[in-house]
Amino acid sequence: MNRHLSLNLGLAAAILLALVGAALFGETALSAAQYGQALADPASGPGEVLWQVRAPRAICALMVGAALGLAGAVLQGLLRNPLADPGVLGVSATAALGAAGAIVLGAAAIPGLVESAALIGAALAGLLLVAIAARVRAPEALILFGVALSSFAGALTALIFNLSPSPIASAEVMNWLLGSVQNRSWIDVAWVAPALAVAAVFAAGASPGLRMLTLGEEAARASGLSMGRMRVLALIASAVAAGAAVAVAGVIGFVGLAAPHLVRAAVRGDPGRLLLPSALAGGLMLVLADLAARLMPTDQELKLGVFTALVGAPLFALIAWRAAREWRL
């Protein structure tokens, strides 16, 4: 009990430090006096940089990371598989497809429309997964279905590229698919925050069932907890969280996969207690990753999705390697 509390408090403290770091460093170097001015007068030049550029961007990264970490933890618990995440199950790809379609159709001109399309895509994927899960109980079957869904959504997105008459729209879609929290404002934060809250409530409802599922499908179904209800709650939570993340930041891989791994040992494997620290770890990872991507001395700013994949994939391989040796994957 205390150990879990201190884990979460520790992660929260690390997030605060990371946020301070994200506010201090950036392309525009500020002097100590300018920081003072920014704090005293948010409407001043340095104040604008701090409160309208860096702060919403860092908060966005935090929330997107938290949403991905939460979605990953929920899906891994639901499928009893440490390789599950919104990317694997096709939620991210379907959200991306929705956004890509909206961009090509010219929806980018109307604020909120691309985001809505991404959310609708994720929701459709979630509904499909709920419907499938009600008919097939084997988690492996759901994973296979997710992989198929992911490939199909990817193929449709490729088709959009293929048939798009305007190279500008294609470039826009590409840019968006790479994943970034660059130039995100408080409006974007206002998008992702309620979705994250809703997902958290549903995830909390699914938590006891996820823990029970540790015993396997059969034992869990006879345990007295409603596994059908739990499955719906869990899929809604992950679809909403992943959909909101993709809607605001595009496709950012590996956070949903890696965040649960980073904290699993600390909660001794408990898939219910994993949810909060996994969300916190995901948020921390993305704030740090965004800060690192900003500080990279590249001509073009490194896209966050590219950076997480570059760092995340080898890191994930390393985690998988170690996990496979200590505890079968």
Partner 1 sequence: MSALLELDSVVARMGASTVLDGVSVSVGAGELVALCGPNGAGKSSAIRAALGLTPLQSGAAKLGGEDVRRLSERERGTRAAYLPQERHIAWNLPAIEVAALGAPFLTGDAALQRARAALDEVGAGHLAERGVAEMSGGERARVLLARALVVQAPLLLADEPIAGLDPDAQLLVLERLRARADAGGGVLVSLHDLTLAARIADRVVVLDAGRVVVDAAPVEALSSDVLRSVFGLDGVWVEASDGPLLAARRLLQV
Give me the residues that bind partner 1 (CB under 8 A), please.
1, 80, 208, 211-216, 218-219, 221-227, 264, 268-271, 327-328
> What is the number of other CB atoms lying within 10 angstroms of the CB of residue 171?
11
Question: CB 126 → partner 1: shortest distance, Å?
Answer: 22
Residue 275's closest CA among 95, 71, 25?
A: 71
- Taking the C-alpha atoms of residue 242 and residue 148, their distance in angstroms, rounded to an integer, is 18
Please give the angle made by the CA atoms of 85, 87 and 91, to the nearest 5 degrees: 100
Task: Return the H-helix or E-strand segment holding 203.
Answer: helix 186-212
CB of 21 to partner 1, least distance (A): 33
Q: Which is nearer to partner 1, 279 or 287 (CB)?
A: 279
Find where tokens 């996990």 sit.
323
What is the closest distance, in whole angstroms, from the C-beta atom of residue 138 to partner 1 in the complex?
13
Least Cβ distance, residue 161 to partner 1 (angstroms): 39
State the minimum distance, in angstroms, from the CB of residue 94 to partner 1. 26
Q: Which is nearer to partner 1, 54 or 264 (by Cβ)? A: 264
Residue 317 CA, distance from chain mean position: 19
Contact (CB, 8 A) for 178 and 302: no
Rounded Cα distance between 97 and 184, Å, is 21
Nearer to partner 1 by Cβ, of 240 and 276: the residue is: 276
Please, are residues 258 and 316 in contact by the beta-carbon 8 Å criterion? Answer: yes
Between 19 and 234, whose beta carbon lies closer to partner 1?
Answer: 234
Considering the complex, state which of residue 321 and residue 327 has its C-beta at the smaller distance from partner 1.
327
